[in-house]
Amino acid sequence: MHPPGRRTATILDRHAAQSRLDTIRSTVADLVASESARLATVLRESGDAVELWDRDARADHHRKQLSRFENAGGGLLFGHLGMRDDAEWYIGRMGLFDPETRDPLLVDWRAPLSRAFYTATPLHPENVSVRSTIGTRGWRVSSVVTEDLAAGGEGSTTGPSALMAAVSHHRTDRMSDIVATIQGEQDRIIRAGLRGALVVQGGPGTGKTAVALHRAAYVLYEHRDRLAREGVLIVGPNPDFLSYISEVLPSLGEDSVVLTSLHTLLPGVIAEGEDDRDVAEVKGRLDLAKAIENAVRRHEIAVRAPYVVTLESEQTVRIESRDLAALRTRMRRSRRSHNEARPVFERLFRELVARMLLSTAGRSVEVEVDQEDVEDFAEELQLDDRIAAAIDELWPIVSPEELVRGLLSDEKVLAACAPMLSDDDRALILRPAAAAWTASDIPLLDEAAALLGEDPRPGMRARARERAEQERELEYAQGVLDLYSDTTTDDDGTRASSVTAEQLAARQRQDDRGTVAERAEGEVGWTYGHVIVDEAQELTPLALRAVLRRCPSRSLTLVGDINQSSAAHGSDWDTLLRPQLRGYTREELTVNYRTPSEVMDLAARVLAHIDPTQTAPTSIRSTGEAPEIVRVPYDAMAAAIAERAEAYLSRSEGTVAVIADAELLPRLRSAVDGLPPGQSERMWFGSPRAAKGLEFDVVVLVEPGWRSERGVAESRELYVALTRATQRLSILHSTPLPPELTP
């Protein structure tokens, strides 16, 4: 018997799901054909210049629509809602309407109507009678898992839980989306408002990264008008991570997001390495921002004695130090960045020289120097190479790379610019000028770029060329309009168009700026409408400053686990964020979908050592297989790894990770020598720091007690390494185990 007033739920079967998927496939094919035809029609259009000015815009629209439909696949459909009022909705990765009836064939997963798919429960059904998760392979339905919510959760289910099936599936070298299995606490975070900073604290396996990516897709959908202009930036911990997540957003229908890591945050600069933890900690302090500022000021009229410049005419000008100091003060009060202030300095310096020369020439008759005469004389001095050399010496154009190299490679310069650091700290960050950039150098370079600004000279030349080109375009456009007005009139004899030559030239000018994402990636000063940082606990204070510089609105999503932080600054979120981010909202993910309970029980002992007040996230699954802890002679370590890797890879399509101290990895890589290519390609080698944010079916953790020092940072790295496995964990050691792992 059903409760009074409750309608009988219609259980979705595979036949009905397949029928809908067939309709979707047919509709998508029709849309591809129609958009192709429309694009071809637009591109064939001909006519006068005035009427065709919008052709490129319309063609671009049809190209985007065509690409959207061509990239659609069977995975478009993944859900179904049967409502108590007999309505039913199919949920998918994009919205789709029947072209003739305009009935919805598919509701976008981000639309408000879809939210009940993720949040409805038997206790709070949200008007849902039945909810079904649809699995597909290509354009064929492979499974339908149905929950009868109106029956209190005791109704029909077909097959295993969709969530359990998803989290138990083997891992690959690419992350997949979780759009079909988003859970309630994840959905709440994904759909949170755009205003302000949101911190998402989540332990291992809680889906932090997936939530961050789905939030990016959601905010672009919900706030398209704003974010389409400004873009969304996602900052990951390392390049491996970016490769791992690269396919998720396109699968969710979004390709307008910039993905980067600290290694590539600054356009034109790529960090090739990592500093040791103590070096990175010093470079990441906010004090270094002041050191960079001091280094910039060393390039701004640094002379203290009178400055003498001899012109090509052999006239000599002696500029007193007080005049130079007054000029420097005037320049700094202008609040322009160093390089962008250069044209102003050039003008003021030439006027100073001109005024002094004119004053000397007229001193005998005591006449006042006329400003117009000064400006005319200063313009003549533009051709004097010795004046140009003096300007280069007093206010040189400096690149961020040049400034930071000079600071970190010169002991005396570093001491003068960073007196707030101890001698030991300065010795730590001192490096050869030719050394490759590291990830912790990038915030220093970014700080320098912000204070220096860009060299204005290429831009000035480009603007001059652009003005000349615009003048040519305007002349051509006027000729077109003159011809058009001679041959085309309305019935009353008036001209058929009121378009001006300026408007026509602007319309015909090619816009080669590209998409928002393309422009943002190449522009140093670009600011975004929203910024998402994954593994945010790894941000140093100076790196956080670089992130905030890219988001003046402070619309941020910071995702991470403070207990996995590898640096001293990450003891808690307030310590990391409050000095620069006054307010933020905090959400917490509490359910571990990835790590089996057997592995998490072991990792929880390490977490207790890190912070006894912390509680590990609750694992929802168990493999029935306890972690393997085996003592192995060091010389036999590679063979032991190969044995375990071959046993798993020969019967599975999953992945195996070997995690060890970076010092040990070169020797351990010989474990793949005897494996077939298909198996060796599914093995990954890296340090705990490099493994952060990644997940693998099997993890072989080697020599966790290799380093004798045992601080909180080392325990956090051990916690990271232990929690990368989704199926099985093996710990191989020849040295004593850390106390937390000792039976």
* Residues in contact with 735: Cβ distance below 8 Å, sequence separation at least 6, in sequence order: 703, 705, 706
Q: Would the annotation count 74 as a binding residue?
A: no
Q: Would the annotation count 208 as a binding residue?
A: yes
**Cα(500)–Cα(481) distance, rounded to whole angstroms?**
8
SS3 letters across 250-261: HHCCCCCEEEEE
DSSP string, 306-367: -EEEE-TTS-EEEE-HHHHHHHHHHHHHTT--TGGGHHHHHHHHHHHHHHHHHHHHHGGGTP
Signed CA dihedral, 275, 276, 282, 286: sign only: positive
* Residues in contact with 27: Cβ distance below 8 Å, sequence separation at least 6, in sequence order: 96, 98, 99, 105
Q: Would the annotation count 206 as a binding residue?
A: yes
Amino acid letter, residue 397? I
Q: Would the annotation count 570 as a binding residue?
A: no
Q: Would the annotation count 209 as a binding residue?
A: yes
**Cα(599)–Cα(620) distance, rounded to whole angstroms?**
12
Q: Would the annotation count 203 as a binding residue?
A: yes
**Cα(406)–Cα(228) distance, rounded to whole angstroms?**
40
Q: Where are the alpha helices (DSSP H) in 160-236?
A: 162-168, 184-190, 208-222, 224-230
Helix 400-409 × helix 442-452 angle, to 10°? 120
CB 355 within 8 A of CB 369: yes
Among 338, 336, 449, 447, smallest CA distance to 394 is for 338
**Cα(28)–Cα(30) distance, rounded to whole angstroms?**
5
CB 240 within 8 A of CB 687: no
CA 119 to the chain's CA centroid: 28
Largest CA distance in the chain: 116
Q: Would the annotation count 306 as a binding residue?
A: no
> How many residues make up the chain in this entry?
743
* Residues in contact with 160: Cβ distance below 8 Å, sequence separation at least 6, in sequence order: 145
Cβ neighbour number for residue 583 with a 10 Å cutoff: 9
Element (H, E) at 390: helix 385-394
DSSP string, 66-101: HHHHHT--GGGEEEEEEETTS-EEEEESS-EE-TTT
Cα dist. 194→74, 198, 684 in Å?
Answer: 31, 9, 37
Q: Mapping DSSP to helix (H, G, I), strand (E, B) and coil, where does residue 736 land?
A: coil
Q: Where are the alpha helices (DSSP H) in 509-651?
A: 516-522, 541-549, 573-577, 597-610, 637-649
Q: Would the annotation count 41 as a binding residue?
A: no
Cβ neighbour number for residue 124 with a 10 Å cutoff: 11
Binding positions for ATP: 202-209
Binding positions: 202-209
